């Protein structure tokens, strides 16, 4: 399944099946903020029953507190259901925001999506 959504030029959201059953990759690109968060929120909500969601942020240029809250809430919902939300490919401006807020420590963060998908850590295990 490959689904593209978003606000052209602002935020793109693309959902792909992972290499293992129960794994989904949600690739985001552009700018994630109050005005553009809805497509990501919807894509993540659609996969909260999935064992593991990897959010590929390698093309994400900006993320504000709204985007951060979407990711944190989804992480909590997934953890409550025994699943896991991981992040991959944080670019420096986005990574800095996660570092400053302390949010980076609650996610498993990988250099890129390939590294995230290669990690066979059990779902439900905290970072």
- What do you get for the CA distance between the two ends of the chain, in Å? 28
Find the helix packing angle between 65-80 and 37-46, rounded to 10°. Answer: 10
Least confident of 43-52, 65-74, 95-104, 114-123: 114-123
- pLDDT for the residue 6: 44
Q: What is the pTM of this model?
A: 0.88
As a CATH number, domain 2-118 is 3.30.750.24
CB 121 within 8 A of CB 108: yes
Distance CA 6, CA 14 (A): 9
**Cβ of 67: how many Cβ atoms within 10 Å?**
24
Residue spans per domain, the chain: 2-118
pLDDT (tens digit per residue) in 79-102: 999 999 999 999 999 999 999 999
Distance CA 14, CA 120 (A): 23
């Amino acid at each position: 399944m490959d689904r593209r959504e978003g606000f052209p030029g602002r935020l793109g959201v693309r959902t792909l099946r992972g290499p293992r059953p129960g794994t989904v990759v949600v690739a985001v690109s552009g700018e994630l903020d109050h005005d553009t968060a809805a497509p990501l929120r919807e894509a993540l909500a659609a996969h909260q029953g999935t064992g593991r969601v990897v959010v590929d942020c390698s093309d994400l240029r900006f993320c504000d507190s709204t985007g951060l809250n979407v990711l944190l809430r989804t992480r909590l919902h997934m953890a409550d259901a025994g699943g896991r939300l991981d992040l991959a490919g944080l670019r420096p401006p986005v990574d800095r925001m996660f570092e400053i807020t302390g949010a980076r420590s609650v996610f498993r963060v990988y250099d890129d999506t390939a590294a995230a998908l290669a990690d066979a850590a059990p779902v439900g295990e905290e970072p």
